[in-house]
Structure 1
Amino acid sequence: MITEITTLRPEECEPVPDAGLGALVTERGNLPLESVDVTADLSGLVAGVKVVQIFRNPHDVALEATYVFPLPDRAAVTSFRMEADGRVIEGVLKERGQARADYDQAISEGRRAAIAEEDRPDVFTIRVGNIVPGERVTVRLVLNQPLPYEDGAATFRFPLVVAPRYIPGSPLDGEQAGDGWAPDTDAVPDASRITPPVLLPGFPNPVRLSLAASVDPAGLELREVRSSLHVVQEEGDTVRLRPGERLDRDFVLRLSFDASTSLALAPDLESGGESGEREGAEGTFTLTVVPDPAEATARAKDVVLVLDRSGSMTGWKMVAARRAAARIVDTLVGGDRFAVLSFDTVVEHPEGLGEGLSEASDRNRYRAVEHLARLEARGGTEMLDPLERAVTLLGTPAGDTAGDDGVRDRVLVLVTDGQVGNEDQILERLGARLAGVRVHTVGIDRAVNAGFLGRLAGLGAGRCELVESEDRLDEAMEHIHRRIGSPLVTDLSVKADGLDLVPGSVGRLGSIYPGVPLTVQGRYRGAPGGALTVHGVDPTGRPWERRVTGTRVDNPAVRAIWARARLRTLEDRYAAGDRSLEEEIVEVSLRYGVLCRFTAFVAVDSEVVAEGGPGHRVIQPVELPSGWETPVVTAAPMMLTGMAQAAPMSLPAPAPPMSAPGAAPKFAARAGGGVPESFAGGPAGGPVGGGAPGGGFAPRAAMPPRPAPAGAPGAQPQEALRTQLGEELRRLRAAESLPAADRLRYLEDLGSRLAALAVYLGGHAELTALAAALQTGGELDVLWRRAAEGLESLSRAGRRRPFWKR
């Protein structure tokens, strides 16, 4: 039977002793996370943030608590500390596998320990082990983040909840990477790490939240401060969240002021805490170029609009997405071509427009808008297929309909909430195919997956626009309208004058768009002085340049923010297939003290407090994001799944229905957590319910799995290259009986494929050498043997466990 969960009155939430499933509340019960406190100092276009999480153990045995939570996707986490029983233990940043080994050893020996890991650019996990009965443990994080700026306003966005994400692919056998409700799959091999159980609406406030942001305009004229989603109180220069708010949506603060063109030079701090100018010293620069208020020259363009209509878009998000998509279509003019792809588990096109690019005539635009107006949310978020189709469409030659200069702008616009778990698979499969395509993303949600949408837009040299409410939609669409048009300046490069730049340290330049400053970061050697000149080409093809003189600043956050951006670039290249970057990623992370996916902060106490380790383990449930539809879960039978199977809990076995008002099964069914029906695939897929520690049901399958194509790079990211080379080896052996001339041609073709694969991976020395040998030619038998041995060696090389399981 399917039962809708109704809102509870506080008097209905009284837990019974040892009730087990669902008996997790705050002042009346036993959720491990007691409070979250966020303090932000905003200075100009940089924010320094301190996050304090307090865990409490109400049980009579030692506890290990796990909390999956978000942080800003561009934030650099630089410090981690654990405090308990008057003891303060500073966290140490280590390679992820070593940090986990240190944590596990400490826990097994009965010592307190805590570990902080990054699972996505904006999703993190903290585990705190051996919290003794009645004890509180405080965990402190310090981070720095840049504030994006456009159209006269900077935005401070701090996410507060990890929304449920659609998990595609087929479940993997063997050890699971984490304790979440979703199994690991071939498309999302760490799905169980990013799917914490979800509290259902009406549950009493499980976590006390406080958030305060002090605003220093840093010499700029601050005109206005706006809070988008929360009610705030202003106390001087501090904006404070109203008490009683829940961790169910992003905190968004917009600061209106005029930025200016500048070059900030921040020398590295010496060990004594002072910036030095000794020989060989280095520093970090931040270049900001504010474009002139001019309009770009319009140019004919091909635009493919990809709209997410999956179940998680239910409610106001679908309304906003339809409006946004229709506004984009209406901005097209004669000479443009376009296509509209709407998707859930299938991809659809407007009736009468076909599957290719159509002229942006009044009739065709009307058909597209009419199609968009009929869309309703449904099904799962199979995002990879429509994006691949969109890129294929944009790769179609412009033909006779090109612009006056024979060149078209190629633009892909994705409108979605981004709630998918297979981000790495999508980036890997698109990879180099986005060359020459500008990708703009429109994220619609109050707990949007900003990390993924920002990475995708960055890969396509475009912009990411986030919409957290319908009130913000018109403003956001004005921005997108300008982005779809031609940029003001392209083909950017930077030349130093009196400043010694560190090779390879300068980030990607992209293009300059109206209203959006160009921000470039990098490293320099020597004294903080000199200038940088930015060169480019305007829409008419004429040279464009700006020279900016540097000014010294003493702000260590500049170094950390550059390091985080550098790490994200390397991690995206790793996700796109270049597995050789792992050592460089770890080296950059450890050198600059910034957390990444390959490292972890670990804090280990020397005192033994719990002989035998924790007797109870709980994964903290999270709020259902604000604006999501009320989920529907199965009320019975209550099956133990997910975390309940993964760790000993001393929980009672499922009991028969009880008539007593406070009976455990009844309370668990009402106060537990789950996944929204719309997210789980709706009636077709059917939610799979089960009791989960942490106050929630823990579904194990959100949608019927759809197998990935055999040998596809996204099938298993850590096996993609070896799978493809193994297939080439099989074909080579099957061709051994061909005539000599055909075998030589086969080897030459094989060499061309391997060379292309090496380029796609961003460089691969062994593949390149083998490809060159096969294309150069020589004795047939020698070349054939070398090809077979080379493919066999490469298909077996580097079989390491993925970093999230070490």
Structure 2
Amino acid sequence: MMNCCGLITTQKEPVPLKSIEVQLEVRDHVATVVSTLNYENKEDKPLEAVFVFPLPGDAAVCHFSATIGQTQIVAEVKEKQQAREEYDDALSSGQQAFLLEESEQSPDIFSLSVGSLPPGESASIRLEYVIELAVQADDGLRFCLPAVLNPRYEPQERVGSGVQVTSVPASLVPYSLSFSARVSSPRPVSKVESSCSLDPLQYLNTEQTQATVKLAAGHKFDRDVELLIYYKDAHQPTAVVEAGQASAKPGTLMGDPVVMLSLYPEFPQSVMSSVASCGEFVLLLDRSGSMDCLTNDSEGQETRISSARDTLLLLLKSLPMGCYFNIYSFGDSYEHIFPKSVEYSEKTLEEALKKVEEMQADLGGTEILEPLKHIYSQPCIPNQPRQLFVFTDGEVCNTKEVINLVKKNSGSHRCFSFGIGEGSSSALINGLAKEGGGHAQFITGTDRMQPKVMQSLRFALQPAVEDISVTWDLPKGVSVTALSPPITTLFQGQRSLIYAQLTGQVGAAPSHSETPLVSLSGLKNINNSLLLSSVCRLTVHRLGARTLIRSLEMEETDDKGQHDEGVKKKVVELSVQSGVSSSFTSFIAVNKGNNEPIEGPLVRRDVPIACELEKFTRIMKFCSFEELFKSDLRARESGFNVPKQPHKDPLLQLVSLQKASGCWLLDPALAAALGKTSEEVEKPKPSAVSSLWATILALIWLHGFKMDTKEEWELLAMKAVSWLRLCYKEKNRLLFCTFDIAVYLKLLTNIKVESLDLKLDSNKRLTYFPMQCLRTQSEKSW
């Protein structure tokens, strides 16, 4: 069942939240975020305002305070049940109280309760958290300020356990947002991009290592705010050393210095150019009802499920011969195309593509846990590393349970995750990739799914650097205690942060240093020099504490999902000591300065959060997925409000015709995909080489007319070239010479004719260049 959400209208029940101010401070790969929420009670009765909102899934909330008039109340971290009891006691006695707590099911959902706000009174809530910034495939660091929180699907056995979310269309959110960011790093900041309009980037020094940026005027908080931050020399390792808290006891986590080591190596070209020809690729596709929502591309009527189908086509065509694969899809239940993973061949590929073409968003809810259990129950295939690709809009409430399952099986596979649409759970998407040693991607706004998925496939096909060890080179008398799990393997495109506590006499770190702090064995031909800097805030300490807390929270639970009391006690102690939130603690603040109780009955007001318009329309009408999908079925049968199928992309048309081996066949379908008649395509063809000719034409068309989407088709083009080379080696070399293939391949970028051992002579072979049959009269050159 899904939480039933209702609209709180401004006419009947005024919303007390008026504005949100956010200040972002980015330091290298981590960030501190300060949010100020301004409340005002314009009613004639005291209010309890409840605001359920999203935060990034791996955020560590580390400060919570409230200001009423000239009085500031700083919250304390306490065990969750104790905090709730203190909050209830305060309200019953007429005192002002504030409670902030993390959802027990998902670490990216928080609820803020502002209790006993008197009539005419204003309150300012300050919330501070620290977070690691995820690295994207293009080396950008991604920060996302979530604005959209879609209701999370609850497995049937957990109905009623999740938090209640009041949702309205994003355009009706009654509060405003102001947002500014400051970026600093040991390396220069090259640019900052966003899905929202920004004012120009302002550099604060000549080295361009510090800069500020803010949202352009007039921004409405109707969608997630995403920033992409790019540094020069992004792959150089860095270390940040942070002094301990002066008031904390030496020898404790907060009292000792903590170091954060950032590893984001760039592999040599010789490693990057090699592509694995083996592996077991398991694709897991969300077919819940929300996948039938339109993508946010305003130019078309494409739905998420149709975009996912097109993406699976590209992905399947790009898999190497010799690998194994299977496709699962899930909703209330789950399905798989094959009983177990099968070898990639023309027959199995065609069977899979037929099933993919039929897939609709018709399986109900979002039960992702059960298909994962089934996948992990299947024995791994020898010498075929398992690679799991998960596509979902990420709206489940049992996030921690799902991530824990992936972590338990991380030794046998890698997990690549894709969050589709606004409001997808960052905790789920990032958690799957982090615990599965893969890569997370988010498809929002006008993003296209295909290029991001193909980027991740490239990572999956590239080899890893293994047997890595970290040796700390520290002064005498200084010892180190690792706060992060050990790293033994690194993949291209994967960033790793290592936290460690330093005990002993640690001197102040210089602002910049080439002196090694650590030695990294196993990283041959990779830049090991460190940029070393120091900071005075407790960002690194809190993130180190968060890493420990998350590791403890992910430990084994009993059959009822409950943790051992010893583990819970450790988490609570660490959370209280560091001031960092956890699933077992809450922030509680009570205004004890005014002894006069607030008179009058307390009225509850649920502050709405933005929800996607199409989902909101459905949510308002239905309280269960069963009713929702009966309505969908009737709508489809009647033809009402069914999005028009977009025109077939010529690239996808061409890709769909490629065979599993990498070649194309010369037939009317290929001619149509190339925009030509069969006669135009076949007329210049040399005799007895139809498949070679067809493959060459397809490659030339891709390089000539689709270079702007090269990242989408590059892998399948590489497979086509490999097929051509194999034909050259194993079949008839004279055919290639007659066919002038050397000329054609020479004119294709990134294809080395030299590997074919063919020599070009000086005669006029270009007069037979097959591009002539693909050009139009209006094209002056190509």
With structure 1 as the length reference, what TM-score do the two structures score? 0.67
**CA distance 1:227–1:550, change in 2 (3 Å):** closer
Contact in 2 for aligned 1:48/1:144 (Cα 8 Å) = yes
Match for residue 233 of structure 1?
199
Q: Deviation digits for residues 298-331 of structure 1, max 9, x if unmatched? A: 1511111110011111222223322333332222
Cα offsets for 1:473-494 (capped at 9, x unmatched): 3442232112322442124332
* 1:288 alignment partner in structure 2: 263
How far off its partner does 1:134 sit?
A: 1.6
Offset, 1:126:
0.6
Note the C-alpha offset of 1:681: 4.7
Question: Which of 457, 461, 476 pairs up with 2:433?
Answer: 457
- 1:42 paired to 2:10: no
Residue type of the alignment partner of 2:174: P
Distance change (3 Å), C-alpha of 1:261 and 1:63: same
Letter in 2 for 1:149: V
Asked whether 1:224 is paired with 2:191, we answer yes
The CA deviation string for residues 466-524 of structure 1, in whole angstroms up to 9 with x for no partner, is 22145343442232112322442124332222265544523342632223333322222
> Within 5 Å, which residues of 2 pair with 1:185-200?
190-191=161-162, 193=163, 195-200=164-169
User: Of 466, 470, 474, which residue of structure 2 is paired with 1:494?
Assistant: 470
3-state DSSP class of the match of 1:232? coil
Q: 1:256 to 1:551 in 2, by over 3 A?
A: closer
CA distance in 2: counterparts of 1:382 and 1:278, whole angstroms:
39
* Alignment check: 8 A CA contact 1:226 1:254 kept: yes
Q: 1:200 to 1:467 in 2, by over 3 A?
A: closer
What is the aligned partner in structure 1 of residue 534 from structure 2? 553
Residue 702 of structure 2: aligned partner: none
How many Å separate the matches in 1 of 2:569 and 2:253? 29
For 1:347 and 1:478, locate their aligned partners in 2 and report how far apart those are by CA, in whole Å: 25
1:413-452, aligned counterparts within 5 Å?
A: 413-428=389-404, 432-452=408-428
- What fraction of aligned residue pairs are identical, expressed as a percent? 26
Q: How many positions carry a matched residue from both structures?
A: 589
> 1:139 is matched with which residue?
125
Q: How does 1:381-400 map to 2 (within 5 A)?
A: 381-393=366-378, 395-398=379-382
State how far apart, in whole Å, the 2-side matches of 1:339 and 1:149 are: 28
Q: 1:288 to 1:477 in 2, by over 3 A?
A: same
Letter aligned with residue 541 of structure 2: R
1:122 aligns with 2:108: yes
2:299 aligns to what? none
For 1:569, the equivalent position in structure 2 comes to 551
Q: Gapped runs of 5+ residues in structure 1? A: 6-20, 172-182, 185-189, 399-406, 538-542, 635-673, 687-806
Q: 1:298 aligns with which of 248, 267, 276?
A: 276
SS at match of 2:447: helix
| Residue 168 (1) aligns with residue 158 (2) | no
Q: Which moved more, 1:269-278 or 1:288-297?
A: 269-278
Q: What is the CA–CA distance in structure 2 between the aligned matches of 1:209 and 1:609, rounded to whole Å?
A: 34
Judged with a 3 Å threshold, the aligned counterparts in structure 2 of structure 1 residues 498 and 215 are, in CA distance, closer, same or farther, namely closer
Alignment correspondent of 1:210: 178
Whole-angstrom CA distance in 1 between matches of 2:530 and 2:627: 51
C-alpha separation in 2, matches of 1:504 and 1:276: 14
Cα 1:518–1:632 shift into 2, 3 Å:
closer
Contact 2:280 2:381 (8 Å CA) reproduced: no
In structure 2, the residue matched to 1:763 is none
Contact 2:98–2:588 (CA under 8 A) maintained in structure 1: yes
Q: Sort the Cα spacing of 1:505 and 1:617 in 2 relative to 1 into closer, same or farther, 3 A.
A: same
| 2:228 is aligned with 1:249 | no
Task: State whether structure 2 residue 285 is matched by structure 1 residue 307.
Answer: yes
Pairwise CA distance, 1:157: 1.5
Q: Is the 8 A contact 1:64 1:614 kept in 2?
A: no
Q: Equivalent residues in 2 for 1:391-790 (5 A)? A: 391-393=376-378, 395-398=379-382, 407-428=383-404, 432-498=408-474, 500-509=478-487, 511-526=489-504, 527=506, 531-536=517-522, 548=529, 551-555=532-536, 556-573=538-555, 578-579=563-564, 580-606=566-592, 607-608=594-595, 610-611=597-598, 615-625=602-612, 628=615, 630-631=617-618, 633-634=620-621, 681=629, 683=631
> CA offsets per residue over residues 664-715 of structure 1, 9 Å max, x none?
xxxxxxxxxx7697995553899xxxxxxxxxxxxxxxxxxxxxxxxxxxxx
SS in 2 for 1:481: helix
- The separation in 1 between residues aligned to 2:434 and 2:93, in whole angstroms, is 45
Letter in 2 for 1:468: T
Name the structure 1 match of 2:754: none
Secondary structure at 1:458 match in 2: helix
Q: Given that residues 457 and 463 in structure 1 are in contact (C-alpha distance below 8 angstroms), is that contact kept between their aligned partners in structure 2?
A: yes
Is 1:340 the equivalent of 2:309? no
1:692 corresponds to = none
* Equivalent position SS for 2:354: helix
SS of 1:553's equivalent in the other structure is strand
SS at match of 1:261: coil
Q: Does 1:323 align with 2:310?
A: yes
Partner of 2:365: 380
8 Å contact 1:311–1:380 — kept in the other structure?
Answer: yes
The 1-side partners of 2:260 and 2:305 are apart by 42
Q: Quick one: structure 1 residues 442 and 241, their matched pair in 2 at CA, closer, same or farther if it must change by over 3 Å? A: same
The alpha-carbon distance between structure 1 residues 154 and 633, as it changes in their structure 2 partners (threshold 3 A), is closer
Q: Which amino acid aligns with 1:113?
A: A
What displacement does 1:208 show?
Answer: 1.6
| Partner of residue 261 from structure 1, selected from 229, 233, 236 | 236
**Match of 1:199, SS?**
strand
For the pair shown, the structure with the greater C-alpha radius of gyration is 2
The yes-or-no answer on 1:367 pairing with 2:351 is: yes
Deviations 1:201-226 (A, max 9, x none): 76x4422222222334x353333322
Structure 1's 201 and 623: CA in aligned 2 closer, same or farther, altered over 3 A? Answer: closer
- Gaps of at least 5 residues in structure 2 are 203-210, 296-303, 510-515, 635-782
Query: For residues 246-305 of structure 1, what are the alpha-carbon distances to aligned partners after superposition, in whole Å with 9 as ceiling and x for unaligned?
Result: 444321111222324334242333437999999994323323242334315515111111
* TM-score using structure 2 length: 0.69
SS of 2:501's equivalent in the other structure is strand
Per-residue deviation, 1:339 = 0.2
Q: Is the 8 A contact 1:66 1:619 kept in 2?
A: yes
Change (3 A) 1:443 1:135: same
Q: Deviation digits for residues 520-566 of structure 1, max 9, x if unmatched?
A: 222222315762223348xxxxx898755573412431222222222
> Residue 698 of structure 2 aligns with which residue?
none
Cα distance in 1 for residues equivalent to 2:441 and 2:525 = 27
Alignment check: 8 A CA contact 1:496 1:533 kept: yes
CA contact (8 A) 1:391 1:434 kept: no
Mapped partners of 1:471, 1:231: distance in 2: 16
Rounded to whole Å, the distance in 1 between the matches of 2:57 and 2:409 is 24
One-letter amino acid of the structure 2 residue matched with residue 252 of structure 1: E
